[in-house]
Amino acid sequence: MRILRLFFLASIWLGFALAAQAQAGRITGVVQDSVTHEPLPFSSVFLANTTLGATTNENGLFVLDRVPKGSYDIVGSYVGYRLSKQSITVAAGATAPAVTLRLASSGPQLGEVVVKADAHQEDNYRKFTDLFVGRTAFSKQCRITNPGEVDVDFNDTTKTLTATTDSYVQVDNKALGYRLKYFGMHFRYNETSEAVSYEGQTVFEEMKPKDEAQRRQWAANRLAAYNGSQTHFLKSVYDNKLSDNNFMAQQVRLVVPLRAGRAEAALRKKTTPFTAAEIDSLRAWAELPPIAQLNPVARPIDSLRRVAADGRVYLRFPDELQVVYFGEAPDPAYTAPMSPIGPAEKTMPAKRQVSRLTLVVPETEINPNGTLANPFDVVPGEYWGFQRIGEFLPLDYEPPVTATKRTSAAVK
């Protein structure tokens, strides 16, 4: 009886595996020199922000199999050449049109290295790693293994910290079991506005666990990093499963303080020239920060997305969103108030993560895997703004279905 049960379970697993493989797509192509169109053998090709990559053969050809359907940036890399990137869409069970990646030479290398003396270089590098890698419990288990490849600079005039690399930054994440290679990184932090931005092309490599216990710990940590993340939220919007996946989205409006708004409106009705005092008042009112007002009612799904006739899904909402994820406590290092606006602490479950999301365009397309066609169309804040590389998962990560269902059932 036990043998039959095992055979039955193995058959189910094989059926799921074959079904998943049938839904996967395929990408083929070639990597060439942009001037001569000669093939570049043994160059690297990868889908940005995934674990999917390949090396070209002696003819510059490559094949990427088992690619989940969706839209990706495919990137080519070769020593002495600049990165080449193209956008590509992969359909389920189909081979995408052949890709030609043409790489431009990065030019002759200088024979000497000029080192700039900077007494604050170590402090600048520490600030960069703190902002880039993060301060979460998972981030503390990350390490940049090639710090010499990072060029960090601070501009005293603009109060801007920048970090770049000619190759890639390698980060070993021992909390999630991934090795990240961050190609073409451009990092920027402004001390005045405290705005942080960084862009590049990342490829993930699965690290080998030392034992079964570490493998299980990595799986648990990856699920914890995924649950409540921006990707999890966007996929829930795409699938129309916000409440099923323990999310609540509320509308946030930014308004001018009422008293200042009324005073300014009354003053602007004047038909005579403004006095010096009145001009000072107008300037002061213009500099007042807006006040965030929260609508406590959960936003219906139709107010968050638009489903086009061809089935594509677009994120759309006015002003800002407050997004609450229930069932998982925030990282211990996150010390900001978890509900700066809205209901009092005692009216909300203790285990929750509260984030903000601003849409800077009227609408933006959501891919089936929960990514955006243009990630720069949104600005995350609060808890999502706190998370960094320590919680960074590849786009092809898929949470266990049974674990997700257990989490949802436990919260309900």
Domain boundaries, the chain: 22-103, 121-213, 230-260+290-386
Q: Are 221 and 297 in contact (CB under 8 A)?
A: no
Q: In sequence order, what DSSP letters do the residues of 277-334 get, joined into one string?
A: HHHHHHHHHHTSPPEEEEEEEEPPGGGTEEE-TTS-EEE--SSEEEEEEESSPPPTT-
Q: Give the pLDDT band (50/70/90) at residue 9.
A: very low
- Interval 147-172: pLDDT, tens: 999 999 999 999 999 999 988 999 99
DSSP 3: H
Residue 67's SS3 state is strand
* Predicted confidence (pLDDT) at residue 267 exceeds the cutoff of 70: no
Backbone conformation region of residue 285, classed left if phi is above 0, alpha if psi is from -120 to 50, else beta: alpha
pLDDT at 293: 80
Mean pLDDT of the chain: 83
Residue 409's SS3 state is helix
Percent of the chain, pLDDT > 90?
Answer: 58
Amino acid at 411: V
* Predicted confidence (pLDDT) at residue 284 exceeds the cutoff of 90: no
* Predicted confidence (pLDDT) at residue 406 exceeds the cutoff of 50: no
pLDDT at 1: 43
pLDDT at 198: 86
Q: Are 378 and 348 in contact (CB under 8 A)?
A: no
Helix (H) / strand (E) containing 221: helix 212-226
Helix (H) / strand (E) containing 355: strand 352-359
Better-predicted residue by pLDDT, 296 or 2: 296
Q: Give the pLDDT band (50/70/90) at residue 270.
A: low
* Predicted confidence (pLDDT) at residue 18 exceeds the cutoff of 50: no
Task: Pick the closest to residue 104 from 77, 80, 82, 75 (CA basis).
Answer: 82
Q: In sequence order, what DSSP letters do the residues of 149-212 get, joined into one string?
A: G-EEEEETTTTEEEEE-SSEEEEEETTTTEEEEEEEEEEEEETTT--EEEEEEEEEEEPPPSSH
* Predicted confidence (pLDDT) at residue 296 exceeds the cutoff of 90: no
Q: Are 185 and 198 in contact (CB under 8 A)?
A: yes
* Predicted confidence (pLDDT) at residue 14 exceeds the cutoff of 50: no
Distance CA 173, CA 206 (A): 10
CATH code for residues 22-103: 2.60.40.1120
pLDDT at 7: 38
Mean pLDDT in residue range 110-117? 47
Triad 133, 165, 100: Cα angle to 5°: 110
pLDDT at 261: 53
Mean pLDDT in residue range 8-33? 62
Q: Tell how far CA 400 is from the center of its chain.
A: 20
